[in-house]
Amino acid sequence: MSYSFRFTIKLLELLLLFSSLPSFVLFSPVGKSLNTSLTFNLYFIFTFLRELTLILIAIQLFLFIFSKIKRYKINNIILILLLPIFSFIYYFFNDFQLVNSLIGIRFYILVGFPILLISDNLKNSEKFNLKSVDRIFFFYLFLNSFTYFFGFNDSYKSMVGSTFLGPRFSFIFENPIVAAMSFGVLILYCNFKISTLKVKKQKLLFLFLSFILFYFCLLTGGRAGLSVTMLITLINICIVYFPKLRKYFISPKSNFKKIFLFSLISFFAFLAIIVSSIGSLSGRSTLVSIANDGIIEGLYGSRGQILSRAITQSDKFQLLIGKPGLGTNTYTRFGDVDKIYANSDSYITALILSFGIIGLIIFFVSLWLFIISSYSPLLPLVFLVFSLSQCLPELIFPWTLLNLLIYYSRILIYQEREAKKNK
């Protein structure tokens, strides 16, 4: 068996398809209406298919790394991805626990997605074809729409508060926060389509779908997802009705200009986060916390406290190498974890706790790769906002779609450069 870049992309598309089907049958009103036996069987089947696909991607990742080592083509990015292996080796010989180790390996595989997609040559890549992802996009739009009409009614009650539209609704996902972030990535996909399509009617279709997704996101009350959907919806309107403004929302060639544009749009995203913290939008009293504790403490709250504890922990050796999987939601659920690190709800914190200082480097390298490889500053912006809000790679649906958008961004940029060379 040898590494295949095309096969990896197909596996990622398959992972995207299976990613949220387990939560659909277990958490959605539709799934809860089924009998217990059928729910369990469907949940087991969809989870098995998702995890099997992830295992096949893991095999491709390790084959990719091995092929680079064999040909002596290890660049700095691949070297950084390899460094956490020392953490796995250390805990294998000193404090081996099977469940914890498997959780750490799974997290490591998910973390490696961006490097797997960016560190390969596109010259032999397949043509720019979004048909598979389009089908999955409409499939999940249908599932969430059906769930909305089926389950969001007068009898529905939420355990996590209400917005001005009613009780916070989770749709097909495990909680409203994950739902909001998933809608945020779906609306980003609409932006990608609007930015690349040539026909006005097709652009209007995806703009209309953006409005639907924005409405769905308002029902969730999830601040991270709501802030980016709010911003992207406005940008989608600008691109469709004022085409000359499109160039301001597309990544420029210069890396310096990319960083500048990303920083500028991040400022507006910060304002959007504050707006989305209004109680009638988020269903929470975050603005009161901001008024009492300041913007940073009020917005970031317990997440910031756990991040601070992770950085200032007394065990300097663990700070250096981490403990694979620690800080992730899966580790909190199934592993042996200290309560002070439970539910970190942050990708940065999870990386530091899992892989130490190397984890922090991995995060900034990933952010850099998102900035320089994306079609728009919106893609790294979504990555950053969601990484501060949740352990993003564990949310397989938004994480996989984000990485596929990186892949298609690279193809788009590569083809545009080749077209200019051939003129």
List phi, psi (to 5°) of 3: -70, 135
**Structure confidence by residue, pLDDT tens digits, 152-179:** 876 677 767 788 888 899 999 999 999 9
**Structure confidence by residue, pLDDT tens digits, 205-222:** 999 999 999 999 999 998
Please report, as a single letter, which amino acid is at residue 291. Answer: A
- Contact 111/350 with Cβ under 8 angstroms? no
Question: What pLDDT was estimated at residue 74?
Answer: 76
Domain ranges, residue 150? 5-421
**Structure confidence by residue, pLDDT tens digits, 75-103:** 778 888 888 988 999 888 888 888 888 89
- Contact 115/78 with Cβ under 8 angstroms? yes
Rounded to an integer, what distance in angstroms lies between the CA atom of residue 324 and that of residue 87?
A: 7
Share of the chain above pLDDT 90, in %: 47
Give the closest residue to 172 by CA, choosing from 184, 183, 162, 185.
183
Question: What pLDDT was estimated at residue 127?
Answer: 64
Rounded to an integer, what distance in angstroms lies between the CA atom of residue 251 and that of residue 257?
A: 8
Rounded to an integer, what distance in angstroms lies between the CA atom of residue 85 and that of residue 226?
A: 37
Residues 6+ apart with CB under 8 A from 327: 310, 341, 344, 346, 349, 350, 351, 352, 353, 354, 391
Q: Is the pLDDT of residue 124 over 60?
A: no
Give the closest residue to 389 by CA, choosing from 339, 335, 349, 337.
349
Question: Residue 6 half-sphere exposure, CB side, CA atoms within 13 Å?
Answer: 7
Please report, as a single letter, which amino acid is at residue 326. Answer: L
Rounded to an integer, what distance in angstroms lies between the CA atom of residue 111 and that of residue 355?
A: 11
- The DSSP symbol for 422 reads T
Residues 6+ apart with CB under 8 A from 399: 110, 113, 392, 393
Number of domains the chain is built from: 1
Token pair belonging to 272: 């959007």
Token pair belonging to 293: 């504790």
Question: What pLDDT was estimated at residue 306?
Answer: 76
